[in-house]
Amino acid sequence: MAEDSLERVAAATLFLVGGDDHPVLEWNEAASERLSCEKSLEVVDGASHLFEEPGALEAVADAAAEWFAEKLA
């Protein structure tokens, strides 16, 4: 949905994607490649789109907390 705006993104960007959600993973990889800002793509192994698997949502929360702690320090 943001395809036309990716080149204009200047803010550090974190992608969190379930490793078992192959289409969304591919879309996020392609979007990440188009960004020129600082970025990171974190893949939660064994997780689907909604991170409903045991421990998946916690892994997302941990990765996001670590990212924000680093970027806001």
Is a pLDDT exceeding 90 seen at residue 4? no
Average pLDDT, the chain: 95
Q: What is the mean pLDDT of residues 17-34?
A: 96
Among candidate residues 51, 35, 30, the one with its CA nearest the CA of residue 63: 51
pLDDT digits (tens, 9 = 90+) for 43-72: 999 999 999 999 999 999 999 999 999 999
What is the C-alpha separation between 13 and 20, in angstroms, rounded? 21
The predicted pLDDT at position 1 comes to: 67
